[in-house]
Chains A and B, each alone.
Chain A
Amino acid sequence: DSGVTQTPKHLITATGQRVTLRCSPRSGDLSVYWYQQSLDQGLQFLIQYYNGEERAKGNILERFSAQQFPDLHSELNLSSLELGDSALYFCASSPLSGGGADTQYFGPGTRLTVL
């Protein structure tokens, strides 16, 4: 158990809908990261927040957005969902904001299925 929690574990929805994925980081960690894992794209970095502020952005679609709240939990919002958004979404957390040696600890993931 990494100490990172994600809810829900599974989510099934229809095209065009909007969903929110939630992540609670390890106690004391200030950075939260979101990754998408799909069969065709592999594991891809989406976005990083540090202490409430966006820190780094990866291959995140404009239909997706994220935020980190004062209690440091984070939410990833996915809207106008398409079939291709079906994937496993991971949240990770780390103590610091940058520095490549900062270890990221991963949650169990949320499996999103868009029908």
Chain B
Amino acid sequence: AQSVTQLGSHVSVSEGALVLLRCNYSSSVPPYLFWYVQYPNQGLQLLLKYTSAATLVKGINGFEAEFKKSETSFHLTKPSAHMSDAAEYFCAVSVSNNAGNMLTFGGGTRLMVKP
């Protein structure tokens, strides 16, 4: 079975500062990894996904994540935070099998951006 741990349920940064949201996964088979963002009162929007093509994945809104197998990590970064980045971010893992396609989510990290 797979699992995801997001370190830090709340992260606060200043506008213009580096954003780093941490995600560690556990999977017995090569995983597929996703980052989703949830704005208040909205559904989840895909930021980026790792599918083994490249370890550094670029997503929307200037976000990127690096897959590190040795550290079982998939941390999300953005060089310069913007006020509009304030939201909750979820890391998720999926595995490829013939029994369907469920996402297992981490607990989420709420990002706050200070002016």
Contact = CB atoms under 8 A, between A and B. Distances in A.
13 contacts: A2-B43, A33-B102, A42-B107, A42-B108, A43-B108, A45-B104, A56-B102, A96-B101, A97-B100, A100-B97, A101-B32, A106-B36, A107-B43
Contacts of A33: 101-103
A2 B100 contact: no
Contacts of A43: 90, 105, 108
Given A48-B102, A103-B34, 17 more contacts: A35-B103, A42-B105, A43-B105, A44-B105, A56-B100, A97-B100, A97-B101, A98-B96, A99-B101, A100-B94, A100-B95, A101-B94, A101-B96, A102-B94, A106-B36, A106-B43, A107-B43
Contact of B45 (A42, A58, A106): A106
Contacts of B96: 98-101
Contacts of B31: 100
Interface string A28-55: 0001010100000011110010100001
Interface in A80-115: 90, 92, 94, 96-109
B101 A100 contact: yes
B4 to A, nearest CB: 10
Contact of A105 (B32, B46, B94, B106): B46
Interface in B58-115: 90, 94-108
Determine which residue in A58, A97, A102, A104 has the highest number of CB atoms from chain B within 10 A of its CB, and name it.
Answer: A104
Contact of B100 (A4, A98, A101): A98
Interface string A1-44: 01010000000000000000000000000010101000000111
Contacts of A35: 103
Given A42-B108, A43-B105, A100-B32, A48 B43 contact: no
Determine which residue in B36, B42, B100, B103 has the highest number of CB atoms from chain A within 10 A of its CB, and name it.
Answer: B100
A33 B94 CA distance: 13
